[in-house]
Amino acid sequence: MHPTPKPVRFIGSSKDDVRAFPGDVRRVLGEELMRVQFGLAPVDFKPMPAVGAGACEIRVRLGRAWRMIYVAKFADAIYVLHAFQKKTQKTAKSDIDLAAKRYKLIGD
């Protein structure tokens, strides 16, 4: 018997943002998200405590750096808070702030 995957909910424009990414990036992000749905860790990720408790960033490097910030600690779903192309070494404060703002929309 296979475990039931946890549903994914996209907050704000995050779903449209992912749809705007190149196909190969979308495929890898989808695979990483599926790992999370089944309770596994993404291949390349890091915790993002500045966003909120349990928030993590999936990191994909395909030509450029792509990021998806999500939180999986809630029982009902995995929430994708923000997805973006990273342009500098450090994650921009505006990206962290947007993800944190969307995190607050979830409640607990």
For residue 77, give the DSSP letter: -
Give mean pLDDT, residues 14-32: 96
Listed by start position, the domains of the chain span 8-106
Query: Is the domain defined by 8-106 classed in CATH 3.40.50.261?
Result: no
For the residues of 12-72, what is the DSSP string, one character each? TTHHHHHHTS-HHHHHHHHHHHHHHHTTPPPSSEEE-TTT-TTEEEEEEEESEEEEEEEE-
Give mean pLDDT, residues 54-60: 96
- Work out the pLDDT band at 87, boundaries 50, 70, 90: confident
What contacts 30, CB < 8 A, 6 or more positions away? none
Are 83 and 60 within 8 A, CB to CB?
Answer: no
